[in-house]
Chain A
Amino acid sequence: DGGITQSPKYLFRKEGQNVTLSCEQNLNHDAMYWYRQDPGQGLRLIYYSQIVNDFQKGDIAEGYSVSREKKESFPLTVTSAQKNPTAFYLCASSLYGLAGETTGELFFGEGSRLTVL
């Protein structure tokens, strides 16, 4: 079945540690995104990538880093510089970017819940 796989589903981190969240898609989508969701909040864009080896900062990129070495993969690293990393992280993809021929439909993974101890 085609879809987006995020791992791990739950992750606990000690302060000062970097952690990497995995996101893999087999939908052959060009664009991939990372969002953060806090309780009672909408989704805030961290980073997005429209093609391999290229990515752009979203609204809250500070303390995060990404790479896009393969079309299928868009891992997110939460660094120790992120002061309040406890949140629900959602990876998404879309067939194209958000301009041109697109319905703007994002397909989401099941999310990764990060807790800092």
Chain B
Amino acid sequence: QKEVEQNSGPLSVPEGAIASLNCTYSDRGSQSFFWYRQYSGKSPELIMFIYSNGDKEDGRFTAQLNKASQYVSLLIRDSQPSDSATYLCAVIHSGGSNYKLTFGKGTLLTVNP
């Protein structure tokens, strides 16, 4: 069973601070990594994806990938109350001839005004 682990939180940060969300994965052969945001009672939406080692920035969001350490993170700069949500890390890994997207349990982020 391929594992994707996240700190369940909750993670609480003040408005304007940097929120740091972390994820580790067990399958060293995984190639593609994703962060989804899920507001309470709603369905997830993709906010970032990363394939290569290093950083990828999109507005206030930065995804960081370290394949050697099997670690992917999401940084949210200038956090806003509207960022309060559960953040799900997801990883594509191969299972023979099929590929599957496995989700972590998510980290609940609360941004306090």
Contact = CB atoms under 8 A, between A and B. Distances in A.
Nearest to B104: A42
A108 B43 contact: yes
Interface in B83-113: 88, 90, 92, 94, 98-106
A41 interface: yes
Contact of B101 (A41, A45, A56, A90): A45
Contact of B46 (A33, A58, A106): A106
B105 A90 contact: no
Contact of B99 (A97, A103, A105): A97
A56 B43 contact: no
A21 B22 CA distance: 34
A41 B43 contact: no
Interface string B41-72: 01111100100000000000000000000000
Nearest to A45: B100
A116 interface: no
Contact of A108 (B4, B44, B49, B94): B44
Given A33-B101, A98-B100, A108-B44, 18 more contacts: A40-B105, A41-B106, A42-B104, A42-B106, A43-B103, A45-B100, A45-B102, A56-B98, A90-B44, A98-B99, A98-B101, A99-B99, A103-B49, A106-B44, A108-B45, A110-B42, A110-B43, A111-B42
Interface of B: 1, 4, 6, 8, 32, 34, 42-46, 49, 88, 90, 92, 94, 98-106
Interface of A: 33, 35, 40-45, 48, 56, 58-59, 90, 97-99, 103-106, 108-111
- Across the A-B interface, give the 9 residue pairs with the lowest CB-CB distance, nearest first: A108-B43, A98-B99, A42-B103, A42-B105, A43-B103, A99-B99, A105-B46, A104-B32, A42-B104
